[in-house]
Amino acid sequence: MNALGRHILVEFYDCSPELMNDVVHIENSMVAAAETAGATVINSTFHHFSPYGVSGVVVIQESHLAIHTWPEYGYAAVDLFTCGDSVDPWVSYSYLKEAFEAGHGSSMELRRGQLNLLKRTDFNLEQLRDVSAKPQEEPGTITRDVWFTERDENIALSLKHTGDQLYKKDSPYQRVEVYETLAYGNMLTLDGMVMCTQKDEYVYHEMITHVPMMSHSKAKRALVIGGGDGGTVRELLRYEQLEEVTLVEIDELVIEACKLHLPETAVSFDNPRLNLLVEDGIKYINECEDGRYDLIIVDSADPVGPGEGLFTAEFYSQVYRCLTPDGVMITQSESPRFNSAVFVEIYDTYKKIFGQDKVHCYLAAIPTYPTGTWSFSYSSKGSSNPLQFDREAAARFSKAQGLKYYNEEIHAAAFALPNFVKELLASGSQEAIEAYSAEPTNEQ
């Protein structure tokens, strides 16, 4: 060669949009493309961005292969850079074109480091070292650095995972995926949004269930809308007093994925006291008889996709009708910091249906949810009040059941709201929303 390296700039067009958004497929393909060309792979680092797009690089002993994809255009920009003459980057080009199902590709090769323009300088390597040399890694060892990123307008959550996707299926409602993350264990995502992880799911599920059950201790019949991961019914079924627990989940793939890969969460699906229905929760509520349930928990995803209809005044009015005279509705009510506009709007809706003094907000810390602070609503049809509960009974229950988050002190403290949350709930002004929301508002 008359140059130090060969650099091919590649553009792939008309690629499979699905493959261009699949970080696992892209990482595997890029590593395989390097190895097929005879390169020695050292490290791979890849990120998937929500809702779509993948960036990554494979570091090889002979230089690197890099990529960024635009699934919405079926397009990928790829750099193939190899040093010396032992690796042919065109082999990698051909491999990737097939792997990405590209309609066509364009490319340009550059020779990097023209030898006739360079002057070699000999130097003593030992004199340049100010630290001891790293131990030699075992031949064939590859460090994989693959990341899932849930990204919104202004904030993002990135979690490193093994690169081996445990579950990926498309239902008529959403894409259901499970990743094995290094920090939080197996993680369920729906349409690229984090739903729960093995290491922090207990926060959400304990707080959405034990607060109402300890406050409304006479409840006999409970209904859960959503919650296909099984965590909410797992917690409810700890209470022998409940004669009936009904779970209505629209997407059977969520149940399947969690049974397979989040078994600690999905542990109660075979419980004889559970009535599991795979159907539309909105339809179920509309057809439900008046005053049937003492407790209704709306364990919904965010207000997009199949969860959108669970965030309407019409739906909450139907829930109110289905409650007993002293019944309670619990919902996950989004983050006051992440999307302040939605937070304000849904609490205003609850108060119009249940009454100004019958709706209570409480908070919990959930690390893998946007901003880490999440809210729940306690809306009472009768006289039930979440701060009127038997503290000693709650303490005994928490200890006996080995709960990881909920206890009698957390129960009371969760209703102590920061001033900015009080301001949002009291005024709901556009100025307050713009001041506290981490996301752009409709007015911006």
Q: Is 131 exposed, middle or buried (0-12, 13-18, 19+ CB in 10 A)?
A: exposed
Q: Please indicate if the annotation marks 200 as binding a ligand.
A: no
- Identify the pLDDT of residue 310: 60
Q: Is the pLDDT of residue 301 over 80?
A: no
User: What's the rounded Cα separation, in Å, for the pair 362 and 375?
Assistant: 6
- Identify the pLDDT of residue 164: 85
Cα–chain-centroid distance for residue 217?
A: 33
Active-site annotation, residues: 63, 68, 83, 299
Give the mean pLDDT of 432-439.
88
Question: Which residues contact residue 80 at a Cβ distance below 8 angstroms, ignoring those fewer than 6 apart?
Answer: 6, 7, 8, 10, 65, 89, 92, 93
- Identify the pLDDT of residue 63: 93
Q: Please indicate if the annotation marks 294 as binding a ligand.
A: no
pLDDT > 90 fraction of the chain, expressed in percent and rounded: 77
Q: Please indicate if the annotation marks 170 as binding a ligand.
A: no
Give residue-wise pLDDT tens across range 362-404.
999 999 999 999 999 999 999 999 999 999 999 999 999 999 9
Q: Please indicate if the annotation marks 367 as binding a ligand.
A: no
Q: Please indicate if the annotation marks 280 as binding a ligand.
A: yes
Q: Is the pLDDT of residue 304 over 90?
A: no
Give the mean pLDDT of 19-47.
93
For residue 209, what are its two tokens?
């269930």
Q: Is the pLDDT of residue 326 over 70?
A: yes
Q: 146 versus 325: which is more confidently predicted? A: 325
Give the mean pLDDT of 327-346.
93
Q: What domains does the chain contain, in order, with CATH numbers? A: 3-113 (3.60.90.10), 146-196 (2.30.140.10), 200-437 (3.40.50.150)
- Identify the pLDDT of residue 443: 47
Give residue-wise pLDDT tens across range 2-16.
889 999 999 999 999
Q: Please indicate if the annotation marks 14 as binding a ligand.
A: no
Bridge partners (DSSP) listed for residue 159? 148
For residue 253, what are its two tokens?
């793939």
Bridge partners (DSSP) listed for residue 186? 180
Q: Please indicate if the annotation marks 302 as binding a ligand.
A: yes
Q: Please indicate if the annotation marks 152 as binding a ligand.
A: no
pTM confidence score: 0.80
User: What's the rounded Cα separation, in Å, for the pair 228 and 152?
Assistant: 25
Q: Which of 141-155, 207-221, 332-346 has the lowest mean pLDDT?
A: 141-155
Q: Is the pLDDT of residue 53 over 80?
A: yes
Give residue-wise pLDDT tens across range 216-230.
989 999 999 999 999
Q: CB of 424 within 8 A of CB of 342?
A: no
CA-closest candidate to residue 211, choices 360, 55, 417 = 360
Residues present in the chain in total: 444
Give the mean pLDDT of 406-427.
96
Cis ω before 51 (30° cut-off from 0) = yes
Q: How many CB atoms lie within 10 A of CB 413?
A: 11
Q: Is the pLDDT of residue 136 over 90?
A: no
Q: Please state, rounded to an integer, the average pLDDT across all residues of the chain.
A: 91
User: What's the rounded Cα separation, in Å, for the pair 310 and 228?
Assistant: 15
Give residue-wise pLDDT tens across range 233-281.
999 999 999 999 999 999 999 999 999 999 999 999 999 999 999 999 9
Q: Please indicate if the annotation marks 86 as binding a ligand.
A: no
Q: CB of 235 within 8 A of CB of 224?
A: no
- Identify the pLDDT of residue 24: 92
User: What's the rounded Cα separation, in Å, for the pair 296 and 289?
Assistant: 13
In whole angstroms, how far apart are CA 70 and each of 95, 208, 388?
19, 38, 54
For residue 290, what are its two tokens?
């008046």
For residue 249, what are its two tokens?
């989940």
- Identify the pLDDT of residue 125: 59
Q: CB of 272 within 8 A of CB of 237?
A: no
End-to-end CA distance of the chain: give it in Å, rounded. Answer: 56
* One-letter identity of residue 114: Q
The residue whose two tokens read 């990529």 is 67
Q: CB of 210 within 8 A of CB of 219?
A: no
